[in-house]
């Protein structure tokens, strides 16, 4: 008899630590860490149809529309029907959550409730390297190349 597959989602605002928490949970419990941000970067780099559409919005500083993110993520989940997984960065909206609900039953939803002041402090010190998606923090994980404190942070909302 096959064991039940675990389907889990972690929710929280940018800067709440979703990626870090997902990485640790996935590693400790043998789950696939499925990051919408990573999939977006991969699709953009591979110049897929989804990547090209997403890039147009990102270059204008706009959020990628629900239907684009949903299409990408549901396709990724289809490829992992026989795997345990933990979603990071999806769903982010009600429309995305409803689409996910139509294709699977979740076993676990983890919500990170972080005080606004903590989020503000974390995000004001955060730097993201867009090509790789690496996240840095000037306090505890600075980039290898020195960045002047007066330089504005680089944000990429393909989270």
Residue spans of beta strands (DSSP E) within the chain: 7-11, 32-35, 85-88, 108-111, 126-129, 134-137
Alpha carbons within 13 angstroms on the beta-carbon side of residue 136 total: 14
Helix axes 36-45, 66-78, angle to 10 degrees: 90
CATH, domain 7-116, list 3.40.50.2300, 3.40.50.300, 3.40.50.2000, 3.40.50.10800:
3.40.50.300
Entry pTM: 0.76
What tokens does 87 get? 């979603």
Of 13-27, 124-138, 141-155, least confident by mean pLDDT is 141-155
Residue spans of beta strands (DSSP E) within 28-125: 32-35, 85-88, 108-111
Condensed to tens digits (0 to 9), the pLDDT of residues 114-123 reads 999 988 888 8
Residue with tokens 């500083």: 61
The number of helix segments (H) and strand segments (E) in the chain equals 6, 6
Task: Kindly indicate the confidence band of residue 158, based on its pLDDT and cuts at 50, 70 and 90.
Answer: very low
Residue spans of beta strands (DSSP E) within 41-117: 85-88, 108-111
Question: What Rg value do the Cα atoms of the chain yield, rounded?
Answer: 16
d(CA 55, CA 46): 11
Extents of the domains making up the chain:
7-116
Contact between 61 and 70 (Cβ < 8 Å) = no
């Amino acid at each position: 008899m096959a064991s039940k597959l675990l389907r889990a989602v972690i929710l929280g605002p940018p800067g709440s630590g979703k990626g870090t928490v997902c990485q640790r949970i996935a590693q400790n419990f043998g789950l696939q860490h499925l990051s919408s941000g990573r999939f977006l970067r991969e699709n953009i780099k591979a110049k897929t149809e989804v990547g090209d559409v997403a890039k147009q919005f990102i270059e204008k500083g706009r959020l990628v529309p629900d239907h684009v993110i949903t299409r990408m993520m549901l396709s990724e989940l289809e490829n992992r029907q026989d795997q345990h997984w933990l979603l990071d960065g999806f769903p982010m909206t009600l429309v995305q959550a409803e689409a996910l609900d139509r294709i699977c039953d979740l076993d676990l939803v983890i919500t990170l409730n972080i005080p606004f002041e903590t989020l503000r402090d974390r995000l004001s010190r955060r730097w993201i390297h867009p090509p790789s998606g690496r996240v840095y923090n000037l306090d505890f994980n600075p980039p290898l190349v020195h960045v002047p404190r007066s330089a504005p942070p680089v944000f990429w909302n393909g989270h």
